Structures are given as structure tokens and as C-alpha cells.
Chains A and B, each alone.
Chain A
Amino acid sequence: MSQPPSFTLLVSEDTGSDGEEPSPNNEGALHTSFHQLIQEQSSLMEAGLELEMQDRGRGKAPWPQSGWDRDSVCAWTLPGPGEQHPGYSSASLRILASMPSRTIGRSRGAIISQYYNRTARLRRRSSRPPLQQLCRTARPSLRLYDLETDPPLVPPDKRSLLVNELLSLSPSHRSHMLLTVPLCLAEKRALRYVQSHRPHSAPRAVLGRTPPLTPLSAGQAGAERAEGLLSLLPAVQPWHYALKQIGGRFGSSVLSYFLFLKMLLMFNIISFLILLVFVVALQAAYPPASANPQPFTGLELLTGAGYFTHSLLYYGYYSNTTLKSPCTSSRSTCPLAAPPLPYNMSLAYICSVGVSFLITCVLLVYSMYRSFGESYRVGSSSRDLPAKVFCAWDFKVVQRRSVKLQCENICTQLKELLAEQRCSSRSRSLCQRLGRTVVLLLAWLLSLSTVLGCTVAVHRFSQHMHTVSAQEALLLALPLVVSVLNAVMPHLYNLLAAWERQDYPGAQVYVAICRNLILKMILLGLLCYQWLSRRVVCSMEECWETCVGQDLYRFVVMDFVFTLLDTLLGELVWRLILEKRLKRNQKPQFDIARNTLELIYGQTLTWLGVLFAPLLPAVQVLKLLLLFYIKKTSLVHNCQSPSKPWQASHMSTVFITLLCFPSFLGAAVFLFYTIWAVQPSETCGPFQGLETIYKSWQTWGQVLEKSNPNITWFTWAHQHLVKNPFLPFFVSGVLLAGIYFNIQVLRGRRRIIHLLKEQIANEGEDKVFLIQKLHSTYERRGRRT
């Protein structure tokens, strides 16, 4: 461990009394550049300090005068020197004002010096000292290590020092450092200018370019525009103004719903494009010889049957052979020749579906990772009062009425937090706890039994519908029933959660989401089982995949219809009732959780149906586009922002996780099961006559191997990686090891945080002690003179 260096304090002293006393040694770790700073700043401080002391001399009391008693406060605050030091001499005040921690933020020179240190540290990558060497009894300061490794400064120009350090960093580090340094634009521009005029550096585009509309040369303008376009890529946002309007009126919480909708739209567009290019467009160009299509009646848009049965929409339309020319012998001229390369439709079908799922998976996991990175914090909770005070104000909200509402919300939340903190100190009696447990159990029993009841009802109903003769319109009955249940039960669960009166306000939302999710997933599970087993639904069809595809199409359409109805009744009609009948000046609140879960449900249906109806993502895209505009209009006219606290980033993470885990994972499991284990129908679709869909992939592998014996690596990879049962075990073992490692790292970091906090507290005590010593020294000196 190093010796604590001794420092002499340079103070431009007015009193010529050097005195017999040596200057007090300050462990305040003055960096050499701060010596000059203090000299510079001390002249400025004089003027400021005189004013401060005059204010204090006028007898302003540091504590507010109210009827409130100081003794009722628990005495945890030390009387800090910054608050009550009316008697300090001007010399000690001058020293205090030029402490390094005080000058950061006020003086540009201090910022530059601080960032010089940081950059130097980054460059040399001097790591933290190992913790075992830190002896806590001697209370070393971590700043000591800076001083040892910093070279003595030769030129006094701080800016050129910083530029030198920046140039030695890699370009990405440099631009990141420039982006984060809290200097004003003019300083950053000057730094960039000095940087770019060094011989071995290239000018980079960072924050703070020359202002626009200066007469640029053509080449420079072109380069700037290209850079501008590239950097615009994250900023090219459709619906930018609409989102700004929503954020301005309702805040980040409601905005998160629309951002989630935008994300789902992007996923669906990507899936649709992949399927369009590789499957749909080609099949449309080379249509198979098929039976005469039925005439178009309007009902097809709802039921998906009839005219749409033998169309591109469904699985049954796609051929299982390599594509041929559509010309028959009766035509003399053929506008379309056969495709130049043989195009294996079945392989293309399975590959496109697989690739679109893979890309969706990667994008989902990436968004989850980014969302977790932003929102998950060790040891944070919604009951964190400082975060409430400093982070609750949403700067996006700009409308006057919404601002007023936000003020009221924050006021309510602060009052609730204070009440809660008072409450939690009181312990509950046994009777109350028993009562609460009974209420909780009852509520959960009720919700689970309703879920069971709904499942049984849907099962019985589908069996009944199966026995009834199938008219086209009656096909809509089952989707109707399921959508009714999905629309009505969440309202019941909300009421149930409100009746339960949870301890923590956030828990109410979580519990309602949980129950809603359980209902939706169990219903979907039942439907998947019915579709795959085909004992009840589509049992008599030859082309069962088209039948299942049609069923899924009906579910998607019915879900859309019921969302519209729910918006109409739940928002418009409810607002009219509230205003006209009940004469309350309150609008209905936008239920973010319920609406987001409905989006997740619709997306799960789409993912389930991609294999059976390749154009279903296109239907979902249309549906989401319409939904955006309808929801936005209804929101703006009928709703008000929610008054309960809603942590937008945290809840976004929760919803993305829900999208990934029950929803996408379930759809992927369904897809894999269908590909691996279910026999496709004999007479239609791209996998006619095969044992399973997966066999087409295997057959292709064998054909490839036979045609070119050099590609044995492919079959080897397939044999040993895909078919090997040990691979999943190995992968899960690696994952578990990684998780354990991360947990240990986290534990170590928590311990370090704890130690560092102790150290900071100790440093604070040291500082107070030294300041009091300083004050007493100067007082004694003052008394002597």
C-alpha cells in the first residue's frame, strides 16, 4: 500500500500572517492542476463569498419556519458545514469553496482536468487496486492511486492535454468520451477542431457540427449528408408526430403501448416479406392447376372460407413439386416460361417459415436484452422516494391539462408513499393477517375456477358445433365465444384485483396481468390441442391444414372485431355514460395492461398460424395498422392517462418477456411439433404424401449428399449436431454454468458496492472533521491577531 502523500495548501492569503502554525495538511488530494485552478478561482470566489456572507449576516434561518418541531425528526443528520457555518472566517470559506468537489460543474477547467484524468486512466487501463490490499483502518483514499500514476504536467494548456489523451484512444472511445463530457457545444467544437488539425487524426462526426446552412462545398455537403443519413437510421420513425402527440398528452406510460404495437408491426412486416419473396410470389407466378374457385361473397373476409379456400392464403394452394410453367397445351403463346432454375417449393416453404421464426427469435431476444439493460437495476423498487422525486416528472408531457394531471398524480403518489412508510412500521395483528390470507386464497380460487370453467365451456361448445351441420356463418361461432371470454374476463379480473386491496399498489396490476395471461394461454393451449389432434375440429376434411389455417384466420379476424367493440363500448360509450348520466367530469382511463395483453394474444395467433396460412402476417400487419389509428383516435377523444404509478420501462420489459416466453416459445413448440410429428395430408399442400414435414428436409439432405459426395460435412453436421440427443444437455449445462458464473460476479459486485459505500461514509466523516479543524485553526489564528 502506498504512503499517503503530503500536500501543502496554496491559498492566496490576504493576511500576511504566516504564523507559527504550519498550514494544515489536507488529505483532500489536490491534483497539481487544481493548484492553478484554485489560484484562478480564488479571485472569483472572493466576490461571491462576500455576497454569501452578507446574506448570512442578514440572519436568514437555515431551517424553514413552520409550526413543526425539530425534535420530532430523528437526529441522523450531522450539522453539515455547508448549512450552518455563520461563524466561519472568510479564509476557511474560501478554502471550502475551492474544494475540488465544489468546483466540478462550475469551472470548465475543472471539468477538463477531471476528464483528462478519466481519459488517462482509460488509456493506461489501470485497474482498481485489489481489495485485499485496502486496509480499512488507515482509510486510504482511492484518489491516491491516480496521483501515483499521473506524470508531472509540463505544459499548462489543459485543453491540449485533453486532446492529446483523446487522440491516443481508439476512435470509438474518443467519440464516446466526447459525447459524454458535459461541456457546452462551443467547447466541444473547439476540442474537435484542435483534434482534427493534428496530423494523425481523422475528423469524426460527433455531437456539435458546424451549424446548418453555411455555404458548404459540394463534396463536403455530400459527405455530411451521407453521415447525416446514416445517423438518421435510428431516427427515421414513422408516426413520429403521432407518438409525440400521445406522449405529450398522456405521458410515457400510454406511449409504451403504442411503441409495443410498432415493434409487433415490425416483426410482422419482416415475416411477411420473407414469406412473400420466397414462397408467395413464386407460387402466385406459377399457379397450380386447381379446381374452379367459388364465387366471392362478402362473408369470406370474416370466415376465410369459400373464395379464399383455394387461394394463396392457405397451405393447400402450394404445390409440392418443383414449379412448372402455367401454360396448358391449349394456349399457343406462353407469356411465362418455366423458371430457369428448378425451384423446390416444399423446401422453400419449410425454410422460409423456419428462417422467419429464427429471425423473429433473434430480434425478440435482442429487444429483451436491450430492455433489461435499461430497466433492471439491482435493489431498486417503486417505493424509492428519491427516484420518485427526481424521475417522476415526465418532461414529454406538454399539454396544460395533462401537466396539471401529472402534478396531481405525483402529489398523490408522494402522499401514498409517505402513508405507506408510516404504515409499514406498524405490524399487523394475527387476525388481520389471517383475514388477508383468506381473501387472497379466495380470490385466486375464484380466478382459477373461472379459467377452468371457460376451458370446459369452450371444449363442450366446439364439440357441439362439430355435430351441428356446418353452415359457413356458423363457423364463426367458436371464435366468437372465445373472443367474448377473452374480452369479458379481464374486466372481471380487474375488479377482483381491486376488491382484494393489495398491500403494494404495483401488485394489483401484476396480479391482474397474471390471471389474464393464464386464461389466454390455457385457452390457446386447448385450441392447439384440438387442432393437432383433429378429433373435434377439421376431422372430416381432406386438407386439414387449410382447415386449421382458416380457423386461425377466423380467430384473428374475430379478435380484431372484438378489440374494436371493446374500444367502442369500453371507451366511447363509457365516457358518454360518465359525462351525461353520472355527471362526473372524469374520463375512462386507458387500461395499458389489458390492451397490451390483447396485442400479445393476437400476435400468438399469428405465429401459430404462419405454417398453415402464409399470408397471415399480412393480415396481422393490416390489423395492427388499423388498430394504431383507431386506438389513437379513441384515446385522444375519450380517455385520460392512468393515475396509478406505472413504471414504463419496467413494464415494457415485462411485456417483451411475456411476448418471448409464453407467446413465442409456445408458438415455436407448436410449430416444431407439427413439423416433427404430425402427418401432413395426402392430397394437398407442399408436403403431400410424406410421413412428416421434416422428412422433406431429410430427403433433400440425402439428395444433396448423393449428388455431390464432397458435401459430407453437411450430413455429418446434421447427424451429430441436430440428431444427437446429448447436444441439448450439453447446451443446457453450458448455460447453467454461465448463469452460476454471472450470479457469483453479481455477488462480488454487491460486496464491492457495500465496501465502497462504507468508504464514502468514512471519507465524509473525515471531511467534516478536517473542516472543523481548519475552522478552529483559523479561528485561533484570528484570535491571536
Chain B
Amino acid sequence: MDVVQLQSRLSEYLKSLFNDGTLDGQFLQLQQLQDESNPDFVVEVVTLFFSDSEKLLDDLSSSLEQPNVDFRKVDAYVHQLKGSSSSIGAQRVKNACIAFRGLCEEQSIPACLRCLQLVKQEYLYAKNKLETLFKLEKQVVAAGGSIPSLDAGS
């Protein structure tokens, strides 16, 4: 594939992530912060999101396994995950966290455990998609091209 084809494949892939709700406009904000003086910004922030999220998901699992579940703690973890997913534009993860917080108020462990599974699924889906996106970007750069930017309004 030549550079133009690679760039086109990248653009289409990114568009698909907006179309299925994986990403929202906040992701474009991050892309706009990336420039020659900060060329790896998006990958760095998203990588940070991955490691923070995985720790939070582990913490959530263990806190829901305690003999006396502290729902304030559970809610605090979900709040963190909701915040960082919102900040990078991981819309579906954010929405799953919003639903989870609603369940924390009801203090039902089975419901929370089910919701945690949903959050995990959305997280893994988003992670997979973003890793693929970054791989496609690398291919464009390796072929000598630059990463095309999507208009924030589109």
C-alpha cells in the first residue's frame, strides 16, 4: 500500500470509531494538542489511561469481593475511571461508568458485579481499537506520510 492508501485506511478507521461511539470529540481535542514539539502526546496520554484503568479495574474487582463492601470506595474508583475515560474521549467506557455509579447508590453487589463486567468489556474494546489505530498511524509514518487530522467539527 502506498502512503495515500495507508492514510485513507487510517482516516476511515478513525471515522468508524466515532461512528460506533467508541470515541467522541474529546479525542480530537487531544489530537489537536499534538504537534512537532509534542509528537507522541496522544499515545502517551492513552497509554497512561490504559495503565491507570487496569489498576482501577483490579481495585474495583477486589473491593466488590470484600466481606463488607465499601460502596463509597467503589464509587470513588468508578468516578476516577469515568473521569479519565471522559478526558480522552472514550465515550462508551465513560457511559458504562455513569451507569455503574447509579448502581453504587442502590448498593446491590450482584448488579455492581454485572456492571463491572460491562465496563471491563467496553474498556477492552476501546483498548483494542485504540491500539489498532496507533498501529495504523505508525504504518503511515513509516511510509513517510503524516497523520491526517480530522476536522473537529466533522
Partners in one complex: no
- A residues contacting B by CB (< 8 A) are none
